[in-house]
Chains A and B, each alone.
Chain A
Amino acid sequence: MKKMLASTVVLMSSLGLSTGAWAQGKEIRVLLANHPYGELLKTAIPEFEKQSGIKVNFESLQEGQLTTKLTTEFATKSSSVDVFMTRPLQEGKMFNKNGWYEPLKSYDFSDYPKPVMSVAAAGSTPYLVPLVTEWQVLYYRKDLLQAAGLAVPKTLVELEGAAKKLNTDGVAGFASRGKGAAAVTQLSSYIYGYGGLYLDKGVAVFDQPAAIDALRYYGKILGNYGPKGVTSMSWENIMPLFQAGKVAMWTDASVFYGQIVDPAKTQIPAANVGIADLPAGPKAQSPFLVTSWGIAVANQSKNKEAALKFLDWASSKELATKGMLASITMARSSVWKDPKVLEAVNPGLVATSIFAAKNGNAFDRPYMSAVGEARDQIGELIIESINTKGESANLAAMAKDKAARVNALLKDAGEYGQP
């Protein structure tokens, strides 16, 4: 009996070993995001498996859950993830600091514009490949503007005037995210328009007059002309309202354009939906243009060769072209010059992208490791400003306190004063 048990154990362990050895280089685990590009990769993976002979086990997760899962797996050093989609601005700095990204020394990055690469590398060593970019735009209802005799707003002053005129009982004149932390990215371009910043050379400066003015403007226009309950609204709440015809103008990321003109999802005819550059502020017209998604190889991966092969394929020009044809705005420059692609992409999207590439800012949030907490701090200011319609007497003092807290976070992480 004992002998049998012993031999079973030996047999089982040797089996385990041999499957382990077989899996090396032949099987990889990939974590994808629930994002249109993740969906595209999913459908194309069988093709990759056929050409490379590598088996791909993939999982798709919603963005917040993806960060949580990666963090817990990497932090406990128990991860079997080989390749993963990642958000450079949200988690890049922290992941890199903890050494979770594999440095990408041999990848050819010549097809990526410089601002895009600034969030993909530490010093001269890139650690992720940018996949998707997005920039802030103004979506508007052509029919409502026309009926009111209004031109498309070119400045924030005009935007406020139009919002006032278009605001009725059933339709909000203007919408943008108001839900604290989620609104931080959308407020950023307004702050740039007023000549301010969240962080300047690693120091929180959103308590400076320029940023406060922008915060007041954002609170005033949303508090007066925004949809009801806007302080609990992110894009997932505003988009359905816009699609239901309850919002006249909306500023958010370019990525939603495809969904608001899709006749299966929206009640307003596509012909009535316009897209324009974010209106100019008193100091600048500088919408964010960010790398929202990238892809990276895990430093802990035991199948790096196969993982790199997958990375090359998943970020290839062929797939980027496919992405563009599916209305996903890709980070590679070359696909934006391909006439066949440009023919299929909406001209408004192309025009706003060119504008943002020329005038945009590569950050839509404080770029730091503790970004989650910093966003909550700034989010409190946004809610205060909206609730008081921009009139809050406390706003400047609150901003000072929040900036001090964000500076403390920067100091904790050793990032204070670092460019």
Chain B
Amino acid sequence: MREPSFVERHLRVLFPLPAILFIALLMIFPILYTLALSFTSWNLTSGAPLRFVGLRNFEQVLTEPRFLDAVLRTFGFTIFAVLIEAVLGTAIALILNRAFIGKGLAKLLLLLPLVATPVAVGIVFNLFYDPTIGLANYVLSTFGLPQGLWVSDATSVIPSLIIVDVWQWTPMITLIVLAGLAGLSEEPFEAARVDGATQWQVLRHVTIPMVMPTILTAVILRLIDALKTFDIIFAMTGGGPGYASETLNIMGFKYSFEYFRMGQASVILIALFFFVLLCSLGIMKLRSSAEN
């Protein structure tokens, strides 16, 4: 009998090797490297060589009021955006789940925001929001409503950005929930109808609980993404006016590529990573309890 070749003997290692290498090189290494940088004094404006400074960067960044504001803002933006998207997305999915004329077209139109490039979306919305020559204020004024400053004002900038995020990402929730709805078995619905449940009762006590794990999956995906939102905010406001729309990601970018404080920027990004991890773990737990 022929002896098994090297490849045959090591199949168990060789087959997953590309994936492991990929994860190690492109995911684990950058995270560890960023963590290592966060303990150094790397600052390009000083021209001084890199030095180990222990926890000094953490101390400086974590006590900076601007950082704390950015943390709250990141969560505020994420929670409101994802909440609105989840409710709207599920509602639209429930509507689209019935048969009606033009359903195909409605689904297609719904997909359009998803495939648009965020930076292009940002630029278009900026034109739309412009306080002097923008369409938004024009429409408001034709109805005799007070005009807004939208992204130009510190108090309205985050809600205005949430509107853009909702516009772009609600369809994703809809799509996932639609897939979940399509997979539900018919029997519980029939049983409920036989028992004389109203449409609202069916929705409230049968449909929603059954589709809940899917909704939560969609919410996890959105949540992780929303915490890391960069493109829309950067393209539309760059974190302004002042720091009024500066989320952790934007602050990390500014610290690294405008201030060149690489060590401190790493602290900000590690913090963001930690928050994302924490949120995903929390929601995954919630999801497994919803499934049971």
Q: Which residues of A contact B (CB under 8 A)?
A: 64, 67-68, 71, 75, 94, 97-98, 172, 179-180, 227-233, 237, 240-241, 244, 246, 369-370, 372-373, 376, 379-380, 383, 409, 412-414
Find out whether the CB atom of A370 lies under 8 angstroms from the CB atom of B133.
Answer: no
Give me the 7 closest cross-chain CB pairs, A-B, nearest first.
A229-B152, A228-B131, A97-B47, A372-B258, A369-B45, A232-B152, A229-B131
Taking the nearest CB of chain B, how far is it from the CB of A53, in angstroms? 36
Q: Are B257 and A71 closer than 8 Å at their CB atoms?
A: yes
Report A172 CB to chain B, min CB distance, Å.
8
- Within 8 Å CB of B242, what residues of A? 180, 231, 379-380, 383
Quick one: which of A228, A240, A379 contacts B149, CB cutoff 8 A? A228
Among candidates A71, A228, A231, A414, residue contacting B241 with C-beta atoms closer than 8 Å: A231
B260 within 8 A of A: yes
A355 to chain B, nearest CB (A): 31
Give Cα distance in the complex from A241 to B127, angstroms.
12
Alpha-carbon separation in the docked complex, A379 to B241 (Å): 10
Q: Across the interface, do B133 and A372 meet the contact criterion of CB distance under 8 Å? A: no
Instruction: Please report the C-alpha to C-alpha distance between residue A95 and residue B2 in the assembled complex, in whole angstroms.
Output: 64
CB-contacts of B211-263 with A (<8 A): 237, 240-242, 254, 257-261
For the A-B complex, the count of residue pairs with Cβ-Cβ distances under 8 Å equals 86
Minimal Cβ-Cβ distance residue in B for A244: B133
Give the docked Cα–Cα distance between A94 and B149 (Å).
37
- CB–CB A232/B237 < 8 A: yes
A-B contact pairs, 23 of them (CB 8 A): A67-B257, A68-B257, A71-B257, A75-B44, A94-B44, A228-B152, A229-B130, A229-B131, A229-B132, A229-B151, A229-B152, A230-B152, A231-B152, A232-B152, A232-B153, A232-B240, A233-B152, A240-B133, A370-B259, A372-B258, A376-B254, A379-B242, A414-B47
At the interface, yes or no: B46 with Cβ under 8 Å from chain A? yes
Provide the bound-state CA to CA distance between A228 and B152, in Å.
Answer: 8
Known: A229-B131, A232-B151, A380-B242. A414 touches B257 (CB 8 A): no
List residues of chain B with CB within 8 A of the CB of A227: 131-132
User: Given A94-B44, A232-B152, A412-B45, do A180 and B131 touch, yes or no (CB 8 Å)?
Assistant: no
For A246, the chain B residues whose CB sits under 8 A away are 132-133
CB distance from B46 to the nearest CB of A (A): 5
Tell me the bound Cα distance from A57 to B147 in angstroms: 49
> Please, which residue of chain B has its CB at the minimum distance from the CB of A230?
B152
Q: Could you say which residues of chain B place their CB within 8 Å of the CB of A97?
A: 45, 47
Known: A180-B242, A229-B153, A379-B242. A413 touches B45 (CB 8 A): yes
Min CB gap B101→A, angstroms = 43
The reply to whether A229 and B149 form a contact with Cβ atoms under 8 Å apart is: yes
A230 to B154, CA, bound (A): 12
Shortest Cβ distance from residue B37 to the other chain A in the assembled complex, whole angstroms: 12
Q: Are A409 and B45 in contact (CB under 8 A)?
A: yes
Are B149 and A71 in touch, CB under 8 angstroms? no
Q: Are A373 and B237 in contact (CB under 8 A)?
A: no
Q: Collect the chain B residues with CB atoms within 8 Å of residue A383's CB.
A: 241-242
Smallest Cβ distance from A402 to chain B, in angstroms?
Answer: 13
Contacts A98-B44, A232-B152; is A180 near B132 (CB within 8 Å)? Answer: no
Interchain CB contact under 8 A, A373 and B259: yes
Minimum Cβ distance to chain B for residue A418 (Å): 13
A368 closest partner in B (C-beta): B45
B-chain residues with CB within 8 Å of residue A413 when the two chains form the complex: 45-47
Q: Given A71-B257, A229-B153, A414 and B46 touching (CB < 8 A)?
A: yes
Q: Which residues of A contact B241 (CB under 8 A)?
A: 179-180, 231-232, 383
Contacts of B153 in A (CB 8 A): 229, 231-232
| A-B contact sample (18 more), CB < 8 A, given A98-B44, A246-B133 | A64-B257, A94-B44, A94-B45, A179-B241, A180-B241, A227-B132, A229-B131, A229-B150, A229-B152, A231-B153, A232-B240, A233-B152, A246-B132, A369-B45, A372-B258, A373-B259, A412-B46, A414-B47
